[in-house]
Amino acid sequence: MNKAYNETWVENINNQEIIDDWYFRKLITDEQRKEAFQAFPVGFHQSNAFVKTGLFLFTCIVASAGLGFVSLFLFEIFSESRFGFSVISLIYSFVFLYFLEYFIKKNNFYRSGVDNALLYASLSAAFSAVVGFTDFDLPNWIYCIIALIILLPALLRYADPIVAFVAYLTWITLCFFLVTKYPIGKVIIPFVIMLISAITYFFIGFWKKKEASHYYSEPQNLIEILALTTFYFGGNYLIVREGNALLNDLTSSVQIDFAPLFYLFSTIIPLFYVVYGLKKHDRKFLLVGIGATAFSIFTYRHYFSVLPLEWALTIAGLFLVGLCIWAIRTLKTPNGRRSALGLTSEATGTNEYKNLEAFIVNQAMQQPHQPNKTDFGKGDFGGGGAGSGY
């Protein structure tokens, strides 16, 4: 699948972020920073988050206005049949796709708000056309497959994180619908979700090794976080128990089979995430582990409440404040050194140096030539400086 954006420029955006990180930590001078930016140019139209948000909203408004204007002339088609509506939606999808490709090539947009809005509009119109053609009479799992057929090519071409988010949720939903079609599936669905999440996580790891470019790094990292999250939710006691009640149309949840196993999962999975994240310096595992730990505490309190809510919140708050103070003081080491765990509370930026390291060695870190401050040639012995008049 051909990539829509200039891959070299995308890579250079990452390199410039590393250069900025080094500059703010005073590892390189301002002159070296400018030289590095010139060596890794980025030709995309770049703006801050506020401008991107404004462009996104403006594009949505313009697209909606355009659709409304065209619909005035095609009202008869809309009113006659759903087939006509589907045809128009499909046309809209191709129109949005055309302008998306045009603006990327003509104006060098890269996640500028305009291209994001056009991408989402094109995908939404395409799926709406499919729903209209089928009159929403097909099984849910078939619509999930159709959605993946639409989303995956868009993900591979545009590497958009939102598209990756929707694609992963659609993938999990597809597995859920396929498994729960059968009675036994309602029993094993937690284990299936955990298995699918683990397979997806390892597949992304394989993809990362095969695709060394930074082009897909954000969608890959997002899918890994989602896989870790759904793996935990698949084994969480509260999710499994309440989900079992919903699947079996129960008015209230009842004790589930293998309850001790899910109690165990709710405990060891967050702890494993936190310990592994600290040991391997993996921020994804650490953050998901902290969130999973909080949700596990909520799970146990939901079924085994001991203290009043006010006391529980106060004690938990004091504990977390004390833990934060201890962690900051422990990890705040002098002279930028790391603690015994190899961690630090100071921001260190990214460590994905890749080809940037060679540039820093060969060009950016070159020190200017120092003039020779020793004034030779005025000695009494042949001008060599060996005499008493040096």
How confident is the model over 173-186, as pLDDT tens digits?
Answer: 999 999 998 889 88
Q: By the 8 A CB rule, do 261 and 223 touch?
A: no
- Give the per-residue pLDDT at 318: 85
Terminal C-alpha separation, the chain:
73
Secondary structure (H, E, C), 49-104: HHHHHHHHHHHHHHHHHHHHHHHHHCHHHHHHCHHHHHHHHHHHHHHHHHHHHHHH
What gap in Å lies between CA 114 and CA 57, rounded to an integer?
A: 8
- Give the per-residue pLDDT at 57: 94
Paired tokens of 276: 């592994």
Paired tokens of 220: 């890959």
- Give the per-residue pLDDT at 331: 67
- Give the per-residue pLDDT at 310: 77
- Give the per-residue pLDDT at 80: 59
**Amino acid, res. 303:** Y
Paired tokens of 19: 């250069």
- Give the per-residue pLDDT at 373: 44
Q: CB under 8 Å to 122, separation ≥6 — which residues?
A: 93, 94, 96, 97, 100
- Give the per-residue pLDDT at 341: 60
Q: What is the DSSP letter of 41?
A: -
Q: CB under 8 Å to 321, separation ≥6 — which residues?
A: none
Which stretches of the chain drop beneath a pLDDT of 70? 1, 74-81, 331-390
For residue range 41-53, list pLDDT tens digits in order. 888 887 888 999 9
Q: CB under 8 Å to 383, separation ≥6 — which residues?
A: 376, 377
Q: CB under 8 Å to 354, separation ≥6 — which residues?
A: 11, 14, 15, 214
pTM equals 0.82
Cα torsion through 153, 157, 163, 169, rounded to 10: 40
Secondary structure (H, E, C), 250-271: CCCCCCCCCHHHHHHHHHHHHH
Q: CB under 8 Å to 39, separation ≥6 — which residues?
A: 359, 363, 364
- Give the per-residue pLDDT at 198: 97
Q: Can you name the residues that pair with 109 across neighbouring β-strands?
A: 45
- Give the per-residue pLDDT at 295: 92
